[in-house]
Every structure is written in C-alpha cells, then in structure tokens.
C-alpha cells in the first residue's frame, strides 16, 4: 500500500462515514421540498462552491427540461432584472465556512424578495445557517463530501418527481465512495509526486477540461494552485482551447488535460491529439483509468468530479505544497482584510 504524504487515511474514511450518515437528513429535506411545484431551480455559489454546483446543474439538465440556473453570488445581487428568480424557484446554496460574504449577501437578497433558500454549511453556529430556511450540515468540507451531498439532495428530489429512477441504487452504492477514492489516491501518489516535482515552479501552467469536469478543473486551477500555492495557471475549456490557448503551446508550457467520461470527451481527445504532437510537457488525468469497486459504471459520470478532486484538489495540491514550501492554509489577501 502506497503511503500518502500528509494524509490520515483512517480519519478520511471516518469523515466519509459521517458525510454518508447525513443521507437521512438530506432525504428528509428533499422529500419535503419535492412536495412543492417550482418553475425552476436556482443554484447559488461563488468560487469553489459555484464550481462544485456546476456538474450538478449540468447533470440535472440532462435529466429533464426543468430550467436549472447556476448563479454567481457576487453577480446575482447586482443584476437589475431576474424575472426567473421568484418565490416559485427552488433556491439552493452552500458555504463550507458559513461566512462567505457573497453567499450571505445573495441569501439576504433572496429573502428580501420573499424567496426561501436551502443549503449546506458547516454547523448550526454559522451566519449562513441563521439565514437559510433549512440547512444540512457538512462539517467535513472536502469537495467529494460536497459533491455527494449536493447530488444526494437534488437526485432525491428528481426521484420523488419520477424523473430519476436510479436514486436508491446510486445512493446505496455511495457508501463505498470514500473507500474507492482512498484507493485512487494511493494509485496516483507516485505519479503525482513526480508531476509536482517536475512542474511546481513552472512560470505558467495551462489546465484544460470540459463538461462534468469543468467545474473541478477550474477549482483546481483557481482555488488550489492560484489561491493556495500562488502558482500561475491558465484554465481553459477543451472547446475554447482551439481559439487562442493553442498558440501558447510549446515545450516551455506544461499542459494538464483533465479527461472526462461524458459527451464532451471527444473535445478532450482532440486537445490530447494536439498537445501530444506540439509539446513534451503535458499530463493527462483520465477518470477512466480509475475503476470503482461496488459502484456501477452507469454512475461514473456523476462520480467523475469526485475522482478528480481526490487526485488533483487533494493529492496534487499537497504534493505541490511539499515542493513549494508554501502552506496550503496561508493567504496574502483572501479573507485577510476588507476589499
């Protein structure tokens, strides 16, 4: 078994059990919400939370024609006309810390319009919990825990509405999620160690992704490498890569390609063909390389962001920090003063 650097495997598995134990509370809230009729669903996030809601919104749009909006909290409160945001909207949000300024302002904005907001936060003491109509507590705060809870809430609602018929099978199998993600970490550790050592001091790194993985690709680029490691990155979608970004590609620029398993995969493969010919500094992170035990293949699309958060947002971030000497918790500006 590969030893994971700066990682407590037993604590991680225990945390996973605590997250899964929230299933009853999540389903109770979902069953309550599903009794209502809504014109649309509005998800509100900022930074990492916006990026974590991204694949949830995308997946729901595949299931039905119910309008699903993903709003940036900072932009929402300054929009002049939001005719779709009404008391007939199902509004959900999240903040692991529970005190994210933009999220709090967005929830207040909705409440002033008489709109209920439901969401996820650390515990009952947070400012966000005091504003939400009802909360689900997410004390772990790891990305895979957030993904699991967000999907559990929304897919249960869609199950109650008769739209998603595989909910119980999926939710039952999610008790195996953290055990699998721990194994994936172990399988990746040696390779991740070499990648971090090779690229941690690159002047710029391009990070490419698409579809269900675009949110997590952006999160790793912006919230991890930029915010936590002060590593300069250039996130770009696989589709947009060929409209500007490709001209930067040469042997001085590392390119990280995150390959998914949805309908956007051909776009990722097109990028792979290009970079394999025009640079010797590229890395492919393909979720297909990691095989679940106890989780059916037809759930891989849902679980693919969870794979990437385990490999990149957790492991590669830690391995970068061991090379940069920059603590993942240290910030110069973020939350350090008013701005």
Same-domain check for residues 66 and 111:
yes
pLDDT of residue 81: 82
Sequence-ordered alpha helix ranges (H) in 174-264: 177-199, 214-219, 227-229
HSE value, Cβ hemisphere, 13 Å, CA-based, for 324:
23
Residues of the chain with pLDDT under 50: none
pLDDT of residue 338: 86
Q: Are strands 134-137 and 205-209 parallel, antiparallel or unpaired?
A: unpaired
Q: Would you say residue 4 lies in a domain?
A: no
Angle at 231 between CA 226 and CA 236, to 5 degrees: 65
Angle at 98 between CA 92 and CA 104, to 5 degrees: 65
CATH of the domain at 281: 3.40.50.10490
Task: Give per-residue pLDDT as tens, 109-147.
Answer: 999 999 999 999 999 999 999 999 999 998 776 899 999
Is the Cα dihedral 267, 211, 102, 95 positive or negative? negative
Q: Would you say residue 338 lies in a domain?
A: no
Using CA atoms, how far apart are residues 134 and 200, in angstroms rounded to an integer? 42
pLDDT of residue 138: 85
Same-domain check for residues 131 and 234:
no
Q: Would you say residue 120 lies in a domain?
A: yes
Q: Are strands 117-121 and 205-209 parallel, antiparallel or unpaired?
A: unpaired
Task: Give per-residue pLDDT as tens, 3-26.
Answer: 999 999 999 999 999 999 999 999
* Contacts (Cβ under 8 Å, ≥6 apart) of 156: 26, 27, 30, 31, 34, 167, 171
pLDDT of residue 131: 98
Same-domain check for residues 107 and 227:
no
pLDDT of residue 264: 98
pTM for the full predicted model: 0.97
pLDDT of residue 334: 85
SS3 4: coil
Same-domain check for residues 265 and 155:
no
CA distances from 57 to 92, 156, 234, 276 (A): 11, 14, 24, 32
Q: Would you say residue 335 lies in a domain?
A: no
Which helix (H) or strand (E) segment holds residue 263: the answer is none
Nearest by Cα to 304 from 168, 179, 206, 177: 177
pLDDT, the chain, mean: 96
Both tokens of 184, joined, read 């994936």
Structural domain ending residue among the three candidates 97, 130, 165: 165
Same-domain check for residues 227 and 151:
no
| Residues of the domain holding 245 | 176-324
DSSP string computed for 83-152: TT-STTEEEEEEESSS--HHHHHHHHHHHHTT--EEEEES-TTSHHHHHSSEEEE-SS--HHHHHHHHHH
Structural domain ending residue among the three candidates 165, 190, 221: 165
SS3 51: helix
Same-domain check for residues 17 and 61:
yes
Same-domain check for residues 208 and 288:
yes
Same-domain check for residues 120 and 198:
no
Same-domain check for residues 216 and 143:
no
Same-domain check for residues 119 and 265:
no
Q: Would you say residue 337 lies in a domain?
A: no
């Amino acid at each position: 078994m590969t030893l994971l650097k700066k990682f407590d495997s037993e604590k991680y598995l225990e945390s996973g059990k605590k997250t899964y134990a929230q299933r009853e509370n999540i389903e109770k809230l979902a069953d309550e919400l599903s009794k209502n009729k809504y014109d649309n669903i509005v998800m509100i996030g900022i930074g990492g939370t916006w990026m974590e809601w991204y694949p949830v919104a995308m997946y729901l749009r595949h299931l039905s024609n119910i309008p699903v909006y993903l709003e940036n909290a900072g932009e929402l409160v300054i929009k002049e006309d939001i005719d779709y945001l009404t008391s007939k909207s199902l509004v959900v949000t999240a903040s692991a810390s529970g005190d994210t300024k933009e999220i709090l302002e967005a929830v207040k904005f909705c409440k002033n319009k008489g709109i209920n907001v439901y969401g996820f936060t650390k515990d009952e003491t947070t400012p966000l919990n005091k504003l939400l109509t009802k909360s689900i507590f997410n004390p772990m705060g790891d990305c895979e825990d957030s993904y699991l809870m967000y999907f559990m809430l929304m897919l249960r609602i869609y199950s109650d509405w008769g739209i998603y018929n595989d909910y119980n099978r999926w939710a039952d199998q999610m008790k195996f999620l953290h055990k699998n993600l721990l194994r994936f970490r172990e399988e990746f550790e040696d390779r991740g160690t070499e990648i971090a050592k090779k690229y941690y001091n690159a002047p710029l790194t391009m990070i490419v992704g698409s579809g269900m993985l675009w949110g997590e690709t952006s999160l790793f680029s912006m919230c991890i490498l930029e915010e936590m490691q002060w590593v300069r990155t250039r996130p770009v979608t696989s589709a947009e890569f060929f409209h500007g970004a490709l001209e930067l590609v040469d042997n001085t620029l590392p390119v990280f390609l995150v390959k998914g398993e949805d309908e956007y995969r051909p776009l990722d493969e097109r990028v792979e063909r290009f970079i394999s010919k025009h640079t010797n500094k590229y890395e492919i992170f393909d979720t297909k390389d990691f095989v679940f035990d106890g989780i059916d293949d037809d759930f891989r699309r849902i679980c693919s962001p969870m794979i990437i958060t385990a490999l990149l947002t957790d492991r590669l971030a830690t391995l970068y920090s061991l090379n940069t000497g920059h603590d993942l918790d240290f910030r110069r500006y973020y939350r350090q003063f008013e701005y």
